DNA sequence: GTCTATACGCCGATAGAC
DNA sequence: GTCTATCGGCGTATAGAC
């Protein structure tokens, strides 16, 4: 049986690992304040050259992170829509996902909620035009049609619902709220849903 | 003979005007993607040298904007607290202020809501520790004590209330909502207040 | 595919004439 | 206090040895 050898200072050899490290730095320090030297060092490399073997340039790294994160979010939302019928259930599923991501992959939620993406990825679609978020608006429209959700501008519904959800998660990510996101899940879901539910 | 072309752009001669232009650029393009050359050009100057006569460096410009904006917000909140007794009235006053600022001084709200301040002003207090926002938490605590607001973590109340308010204003600022903020004021206040009011 | 070394451009910042 | 001119440094990116 082959035994896996633990390396004490693990080199980030695969592109995926380097990308993960870059995401971490982008979300904590910011894109522009993170140099390729920072990424190289954090990856256990002595230079930036190694990075250029995997990625054409710094900007491409960010674009790949953008694609990965929004693609996987899109897939998750497809999955949630398939498994649930009612808009309320689908939104609940998305809420669960966001809270889980905040605890398990905070960098991903930082990327989605806090980074000013159009500053360093001006050519990418604004968040609300991505497939994932277009589907969220569709869920809201269906909920309005079905009489579950108040009949107001879907974008306004979105602002109320995800205003509550995202601002809470943001507070967890910044430390203003000091428990795990999961501790606030049920009451926050209720607050968000009540803000948009037809009484 | 070449025709003399009148340059329309008025010269920004006072420090305040230059600072206003810098704010505009920082909020639209981003701090790091705005060069001093950009600021100089937008101010009708031929070089960056003129800017250095008024400000020690680029960073100081941002720091001054930070100070101005949070100071004046703090003063406004003092004023609102003085004029109103109940927490609900005080929060309503702050809501009015935020909506008004969004329509009348969108750069200021962009600065407050959208910019990632700690990326280029790491030495300044995080938003929630500024005098203005500490006072908002105090208002919330008073509202809980008075029985107006649900008895949960004040930071959570803050997340629910300003989640609704800020996310709505953010949508106005990005164009996802296409009317003036004022058009959404009354219903958004209700949604935000209902999310935290004791029933 | 990781290293050394280096090129190169942009931008922040300064000096000094007027 | 605005201009011309220029400097220095950082950060991205490349060339080429091993």
Instruction: Identify all chain B residues contacting A29, using CB atoms and an 8 Å cutoff.
Output: 119
Chain B residues with CB inside 8 Å of A163's CB?
163-168
CB atoms within 10 A of CB B8: 6
Per-residue pLDDT of B154-197, as tens digits, reads 999 999 999 999 999 999 999 999 999 999 999 999 999 999 99
Beta bridge partners of A197: A149
pLDDT digits (tens, 9 = 90+) for B38-73: 999 999 999 999 999 999 999 999 999 999 999 999
Same domain, yes or no: A117 and A159: yes
- CB contacts, 8 Å: B113 with chain A: none
Chain A interface with B: residues with Cβ < 8 Å: 29-30, 32-33, 114-116, 119-120, 126, 128, 152-153, 155-156, 158-160, 162-168, 170-171, 174, 176-177, 184, 187-188, 191, 194-196
Same domain, A21 and A106: no
Q: What angle do CA B163, B122, B99 make, to 5 degrees?
A: 30
Q: How confident is the model over B121-163, as pLDDT tens digits?
A: 999 999 999 999 999 999 999 999 999 999 999 999 999 999 9
> Is residue B120 within 8 Å of B62, Cβ to Cβ?
yes
User: Phi-psi category of B184—alpha, beta or left, where left has phi over 0 and alpha has psi -120 to 50?
Assistant: alpha
Q: What is the pLDDT of residue B14?
A: 86
pTM of the shown model: 0.93
Q: How confident is the model at residue A199 (pLDDT cuts 50, 70, 90)?
A: confident
Q: Which of B159, B170, B188 sits opposite A168 (nearest CB)?
A: B159
Tracing tokens 């795990």 back to the chain, one arrives at A180
Q: How many domains does chain B have?
A: 2
Q: Is residue A3 over pLDDT 60?
A: no
Output the domain CATH number for residue A48: 1.10.10.60
A10 — pLDDT class (breaks 50, 70, 90): low
Tokens, residue A56: 């054409």
Report the pLDDT value the prediction gives residue A9, as an integer from 0 to 100. 42
Match 């606030």 to its residue by tokens: A184
Res. A145: pLDDT tops 70: yes
Give per-residue pLDDT as tens, A52-98: 999 999 999 999 999 999 999 999 999 999 999 999 999 999 999 99
Residue B149, strand partner residues: B197
**Residue B81: both structure tokens together:** 């607290």
For residue B28, pLDDT over 60 is answered with yes
For residues B98 and B187, membership in a common domain is answered with yes
A35 and A91 co-located in one domain = no
What is the domain-level CATH number for residue A142?
Answer: 1.10.357.10
Claim to verify: residue A50 and residue A126 sit in the same structural domain: no
Both A92 and A138 in one domain: the answer is yes
> CA-CA distance, A79 to A93, in Å (whole number)?
10
> Cβ–Cβ of A164/B159 closer than 8 Å?
yes
Q: Are residues B155 and B72 in the same domain?
A: yes
């Amino acid at each position: 049986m082959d035994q896996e050898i633990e390396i004490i200072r693990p080199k980030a050899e695969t592109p995926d690992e380097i990308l993960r490290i870059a995401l971490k730095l982008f979300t904590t320090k910011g894109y522009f304040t993170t140099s390729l030297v920072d990424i190289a060092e954090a990856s256990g490399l002595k230079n930036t050259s190694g990075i250029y073997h995997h990625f054409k340039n710094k900007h491409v790294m960010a674009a790949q992170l953008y694609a990965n994160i929004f693609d996987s979010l899109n897939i998750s939302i497809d999955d949630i829509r398939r498994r649930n019928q009612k808009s309320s259930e689908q939104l609940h599923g998305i809420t669960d996902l966001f809270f889980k991501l905040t605890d398990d992959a905070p960098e991903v939620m930082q990327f989605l909620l806090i980074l000013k993406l159009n500053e360093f990825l001006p050519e990418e679609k604004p968040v609300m035009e991505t497939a994932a978020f277009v589907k969220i608006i569709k869920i809201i429209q269906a909920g309005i049609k079905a009489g579950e959700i108040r009949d107001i501008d879907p974008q306004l519904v979105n602002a109320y619902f995800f205003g509550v959800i995202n601002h809470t998660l943001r507070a967890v990510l910044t430390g203003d709220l000091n428990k795990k996101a999961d501790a606030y899940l049920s009451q926050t879901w209720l607050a968000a849903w009540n803000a948009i539910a037809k009484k």
